[in-house]
Structure 1
Amino acid sequence: MLRFLPELLGLVLVVWALVDCITTPEEALRGLPKVLWVLLILLFPLVGALVYLFAGRARVEGAGTGWSAPQSRPSPRQQVAPDDDPAFLERLRLHKWEQELRERERRLREDEDGPGA
């Protein structure tokens, strides 16, 4: 079983590089057009995959994982859940604060007026 491990890892690397190359937009690739990168990976599987991953793959700003979450904010037309909307949460906090303030004022007035007033 262990003797097949290097071949299996090589196959996984080639498939990963090929899928990554195909799904990456043309303008994000470096060096060669997408068609040439795919041909390079297919004609020289291990070497082509390694060259693509180190030289042709687009670099991602930020974390070194190669993956990044979208950094843009949702447009006004996109619906955002209330618990993801900072403006809604702020209004909710202010509303709760106003209710607590009114309740405290009511209790103070009752205490000032006394129990028999």
Structure 2
Amino acid sequence: MVRVVIIGVVVAVAFTLYALVDAAMTEASRARGVGKPLWILIVVLLPVIGGLLWFLIGKGTKPAESARRPAPDDDPRFTGTRLSGPDLDATVRDLEERLRELDAETYPGEERGTTGAAPRESRGPVHPPAPEPPAKPADPADPADGTAPEGDRRADGDAAQP
């Protein structure tokens, strides 16, 4: 009889742990009835019964419908606002004119063609270039031509390696 009780307790603990991990790892949108944190609390406080309730009532098969949103191009409000050919051309011309005005404000004195802004390379840098670092003073031990000073030559005529 003791063996049956021990096996029953092990099965109950294993089932409760399985239900607890399942409740914790399931997406919150699939929890039915109450929120996901409350389901975890129910499984912990009511070990076997809480796990059974979680699998029978709490765990939904699909995410809640309110969590799904249609893609914008599936929404009739989105697709109904498309412009016809002439309206679209007028809108594009208006936007291009606004862009030219903004370019003229940003870069005064520069000529712009009718096709829009000039390429980035032709405008020049946005910020002035950083100044060059000062040149190092000449070191007599390290001449620029790569030869060693006269005092560093060995007897065989080769320059000494530092």
Give the alignment's TM-score, normalised by structure 2: 0.35
Give the alignment's TM-score, normalised by structure 1: 0.48
Structure showing greater radius of gyration is 2
The structure with the greater share of residues assigned to helix is: 1
